[in-house]
């Protein structure tokens, strides 16, 4: 049986304007994650948010609190952010993962390395204007090396996050440099909703990434879609042997009414079963990704 790994992207920096189920505080994140675990999720990806306002936070103490709540409520693999686009200083980006690593109860299992330096510009096609026009997400190789070292020192494994064909071409040199190690869990990012610096969430957008996935490596890949409906591509991902990273952090899924994260996981599991694939759950996810 070929299992499917489901990484639930619980909150990112999404607002509650379009879906009120986005979790902010530690208890909300833990409750949402536990419901996703019950539906078949294996990994919880989360960002720290101010529990009341939802404002982005880099507070290591808040991350530890979230991790403790998650560990108390679930056995999910923990994948906190490294502050995508919020913090720029490497020390600040790593501070919470380092703090989490000081206690086995809060230690992260995985942490994302975005293999790209890119525009985070948002374009509003309807209004024909740039909502933002000066946001850069910088990840030069020196930064990737420092982030990888910091992540490993904190007892976690780096997850290469791919944004384009150039990201994929970086994987083998980064393996040779020891920045990455096999087995690899690679996340392939597609972008919609006005974020232009990624492949579109179309069959051709995905195929272009799969065409350049380095062959012969011990590697599992998952697809995520920032700003769009990943379920539209579910059959193609399942047929191609891929896994899923999705959640309300990326997109509010108005097509499904006002779903919770757990309802999204249920949708993926239904589609997976139609393809003869069962959800991996945390235990099988750990085995497949070589996590202790
Ligand atoms: Zn994230």
Domains and CATH numbers, the chain: 3-288 (3.20.20.70)
127 CA → ligand 1 middle, Å = 27
The verdict on pTM exceeding 0.95 is yes
pLDDT tens for the chain, 292 residues long, are 599 999 999 999 999 999 999 999 999 999 999 999 999 999 999 999 999 999 999 999 999 999 999 999 999 999 999 977 777 899 999 999 999 999 999 999 999 999 999 988 899 999 999 998 888 899 999 999 999 999 999 999 999 999 999 999 999 999 999 999 999 999 999 999 999 989 999 999 999 999 999 999 999 999 999 999 999 999 999 999 999 999 999 999 999 999 999 999 999 999 999 999 999 999 999 999 999 7
Which residues contact residue 41 at a Cβ distance below 8 angstroms, ignoring those fewer than 6 apart?
Answer: 6, 7, 8, 33, 76, 265, 279, 281
Q: What is the DSSP letter of 241?
A: T
- Integer CA distances (angstroms), 7 to 71, 141, 160, 269, in order: 16, 26, 14, 12
User: Which two three-digit tokens encode residue 64?
Assistant: 């530890």
235 CA → ligand 1 middle, Å = 24
Measured over the CA atoms of residue 214, residue 2, residue 282 and residue 164, the dihedral's sign is positive
| Cα distance between residue 223 and residue 207, in whole Å | 11
Strand partners of residue 225? 190
78 CA → ligand 1 middle, Å = 12
Place of tokens 């969430």: 201
20-41 pLDDT, tens per residue?
Answer: 999 999 999 999 999 999 999 9
41 CA → ligand 1 middle, Å = 16
- Integer CA distances (angstroms), 69 to 52, 76, 115, 248, 260, in order: 17, 12, 30, 19, 19
In this structure, are residues 183 and 219 in contact, taking their beta carbons and an 8 Å threshold?
A: yes
Picking from 24, 28, 36, the residue whose alpha carbon sits closest to that of residue 244 is: 36
């Amino acid at each position: 049986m070929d299992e499917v790994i489901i990484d639930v992207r619980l909150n990112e920096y999404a607002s509650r304007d379009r879906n009120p189920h986005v979790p902010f505080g530690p208890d909300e994140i833990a409750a949402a994650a536990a419901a996703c675990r019950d539906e078949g999720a294996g990994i919880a990806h989360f960002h720290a948010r101010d529990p009341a306002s939802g404002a982005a936070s880099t507070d290591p103490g808040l991350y530890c609190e979230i991790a403790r709540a998650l560990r108390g409520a679930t056995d999910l693999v923990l994948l906190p952010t490294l502050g995508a686009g919020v913090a720029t200083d490497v020390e600040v980006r790593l501070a919470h993962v380092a703090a989490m690593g000081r206690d086995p109860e809060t230690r992260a299992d995985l942490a994302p390395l975005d293999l790209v330096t890119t525009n985070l510009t948002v374009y509003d096609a309807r209004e024909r204007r740039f909502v933002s026009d000066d946001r850069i997400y910088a990840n030069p190789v020196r930064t990737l090396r420092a982030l990888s070292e910091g992540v490993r020192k904190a007892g976690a494994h780096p997850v290469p996050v791919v944004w384009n064909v150039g990201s994929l071409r970086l994987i083998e040199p980064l393996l040779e440099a020891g920045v990455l190690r096999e087995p690899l869990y690679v996340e392939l990012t597609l972008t919609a909703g006005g974020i232009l610096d990624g492949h579109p969430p179309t069959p051709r957008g995905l195929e272009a990434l799969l065409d350049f996935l380095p062959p012969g490596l011990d590697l599992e890949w998952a697809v995520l879609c920032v700003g769009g409906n990943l379920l539209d591509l579910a059959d193609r991902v399942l047929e191609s042997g891929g896994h899923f990273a999705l959640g309300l952090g990326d997109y509010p899924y108005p097509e499904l009414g006002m779903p919770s994260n757990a309802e999204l996981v249920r949708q993926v599991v239904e589609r997976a079963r139609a393809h003869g694939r069962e959800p991996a759950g945390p235990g099988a996810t750990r085995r497949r990704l070589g996590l202790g």
